[in-house]
Amino acid sequence: MKYFNPSKVTFSIATAAILTLLAGCNSDVNQSTSVVVSPKESVLIADFEQAQLTTLIQPFYAQAILNKNLLGSQALKIKFSTQHSSSGINLKPEKPWVTSHLGNNAFMFEAKNTSESSIMLSVNITGKNNATQRRTVAIDKDETITLYFELKGFELDHDTGLRDTPPAFKTTARKMPIRGSKEIIDFSQVHAIKIYTETQIKPTEIVIDNLRFETTPTPNKNYVTHIVDKFGQRADINFDLKVKSTAELKAFADKELMELKNSKGWPDRSQFGGWKDGPRFDATGYFRTQKVANKWALIDPEGYLYFSSGIANSRMSNTSTFTGIDYKDDSVRYIDPDDVTPEDSQGISGNYRQAQKTSNVANQQRRNMFEWLPDYDNELANHYGYRRKAHKGPMKHGEVYSFYQANLERRYGETTEHSYLQNWHDVTLERMVDWGFTSFGNWTDPMFYDNKKMPYFANGWIIGEFKTLSSGFDIWGKMPDVFDPEFVRRANITTQVIAQEIKNSPWCVGIFIDNEQSWGGEGPPIRRYGIVFDALSKNAKESPSKAVFVKMLKQKYENIHALNIVWGKNVASWEQLSEGVNYKKDDGYSDEMLADFGWLLQTYADEYFKVVKNAIKEVLPNHMYMGARFTTWGTAPEALKAAKKYADVVSYNYYREGLDEMTWSFLKELDAPVIIGEYHIGSTDVGHPNPGIIHAPNQKVRADMYRDYMNSAIDNPYVIGAHWFQYIDSPLTGRAHDGENYNVGFVTITDIPFPHMISAAKDIHTKLYRRRYGDIQ
């Protein structure tokens, strides 16, 4: 088996053999090859020494080229497509690779990025029972690195409460972080490997070599012990901006405050952040949309063209992390059924002094992650809180601590109760103005709602004890039964609370309601029409949506026999249909049946958006309804159509490197104002084991990628704004709600701004309005 030293090897352009396949080979195609078994410590998959590629390598929407490197051996160059949503190679042996004899092991390979920019490379590996795990890594321009994808290892199947953890063993290779959720998979047999990129906005290519399964070193069983210092930073590594003392933290603050005091502002901006130097339109006193010269635009309250460049999640709610402690006092877990704020949006507040007397260690591993946590009588103990439930993780509920909020007290002191929060409020506003942003994004702390410096978006959730439906892939939770009167009541309660907070302020651009719901999506019928399938399986006496659907079908079809003919089913009577029919596992659906499902889903989606719109306009007639913050993975066309009909703006969260044509070409037909509610890019170079959803190799490239994303949004004629998620880095040990431990903030956990990000923001915003609207007279 061939290995090379990455520090000594460079790849030439010399090509020994070329295999170019741009036709998009299906990943299910079987390839015949023999499995090469090397000594016990490794299993070789491919070293590319053959004169031509074997059928094991199946490119899809990519070029796969054998390259001879300077040492005379060969490697594989993959040129990825910018015209397809996914591009790369599949490897699928005739018989699965066996790794059970390797003990703890990983899939490993050498990689060199030969692109003109960094690349985010993904790998999917499929083990037993067709179960697949995805991992992703960023590789810088011209960088050569050994990568590993851990398959079996110490506590790999253990839930630490972090989206990903530091490496459990010493190695010079780079760990590929988990993308999405960690799956528990038996990789003793590996059935397929996929190496690919997603929706590239720039041409990218990579050279790979020595694909293998290899035994990993002896693990450090204390790999997550004492990884967090007293400031909430990684204790075991050094990095730029790392704070060593409270005095240093205060010095950072003093320096920044002086810089903000000398900020010159943005002379070309109106009072509300619109383009004062551009053309002016009708002023209504509130934000609105208008199509101007074939571009959708926001118009600010004074009539100036406006583009919403913002930062979302400027609040304390998601800065807390589980400490491993819980309280025996059950009273702390009570949830008011009339509450309109979900648990993950609750602040860090409350008096837990009595409950803390009943504290006990509920998770020793999490407790051991921290070098320091304050005693309950410490002056920084007021940054403890409690989470009554979590979306995922080993702690279903328990004590939490906000290192970020504690660092604010260290940074500014406390002259009166919680005065550091007022300092934070004031400095955050000054930063947003200085950095050139034109608004906050979603999930802005209501303490900003009365400000007169920076426009904002209000938000709400419709939660409560109404009936629900399942889409079949309920990522964040089930969908509401929109025909349940309780859903309507709760929608009205939510918007009434928002209206009380906003106080009809013209600084509020609009209102988002809900987030990333599972509406269905493109694909097989069960994926697109899951809500309808679930409703039909229920009894109409128990499901308001089912009752509406049955009524609609009775009005369309003269009798049950007529429905059976069209659907190709054998329902005995309307009564049987009302009691429930389960078609979730059927193999066949007639086109007419699916057309009816689309009709029913459209009725459901229309009702959702109509209920929310009516609830908003009843109490906030001057403000825009900003939609439900769709995803590209969970939005059926029927939901999009309903959003256009009832919402003032269609909103999407889109985590990619930019707004690519292949995904967003539908906007021309939609022809509606669209806002990007979330996107981000992160890196691992400041200690976060998982950088985020989109990866950069370092902070400089992270800022460059941020600039690229924003420019792609500014240049899109249908997009009226884009909001970075989020203001503050995630807690290193994961936010309490679901363990996200991402480096995606504009400021660190010690509230220090990332210089490259700030520089990029100022550059973007200096050019913002002339780039967007400069051709409009």
First to last CA, the chain: 66
Do residues 718 and 264 lie in contact, with contact meaning Cβ atoms separated by under 8 Å? no
Interstrand relation of 36-37 and 42-46 (parallel, antiparallel or unpaired): antiparallel
φ, ψ for residue 20 (rounded to 5)? -110, 115
Two tokens, residue 187:
């990789």
pLDDT digits (tens, 9 = 90+) for 383-433: 999 999 999 999 999 999 999 999 999 999 999 999 999 999 999 999 999
The residues with which 213 forms a beta bridge, in sequence order, are 43, 107
Given a cut of 60, is residue 547 above it in pLDDT? yes
CB-neighbour burial class of residue 360 (10 A; exposed 0-12, middle 13-18, buried 19+): exposed
pLDDT at residue number 72: 59
pLDDT digits (tens, 9 = 90+) for 14-46: 333 333 333 343 333 333 333 433 344 899 999
**SS3 at position 10:** coil
Two tokens, residue 548:
């509406």
CA distance 477 to 480: 9
- The overall average pLDDT reported for the chain is 93
Do residues 458 and 472 lie in contact, with contact meaning Cβ atoms separated by under 8 Å? no
What pTM value is reported for the model? 0.93
**What does the H/E/C string look like for 549-618?**
HHHHHHHHCCCHHHHHHHHCCCCCCHHHHHHCCCCCCCCCCCHHHHHHHHHHHHHHHHHHHHHHHHHHHH
pLDDT digits (tens, 9 = 90+) for 172-220: 999 999 998 889 999 999 999 999 999 999 999 999 999 999 999 999 9
Q: How many CB atoms within 10 Å of residue 271?
A: 15
Average pLDDT value for residue range 559-569? 96
pLDDT at residue number 36: 37
The residues with which 291 forms a beta bridge, in sequence order, are 296
**SS3 at position 664:** helix
Please list, in sequence order, all residues whose beta carbon lies within 8 angstroms of the beta carbon of residue 612, skipping any fewer than 6 positions away: 462, 491, 495, 513, 514, 625, 628, 646
pLDDT digits (tens, 9 = 90+) for 125-183: 999 999 999 999 999 999 999 999 999 999 999 999 999 999 999 999 999 999 988 89
pLDDT digits (tens, 9 = 90+) for 640-657: 999 999 999 999 999 999
Please list, in sequence order, all residues whose beta carbon lies within 8 angstroms of the beta carbon of residue 558, skipping any fewer than 6 positions away: none
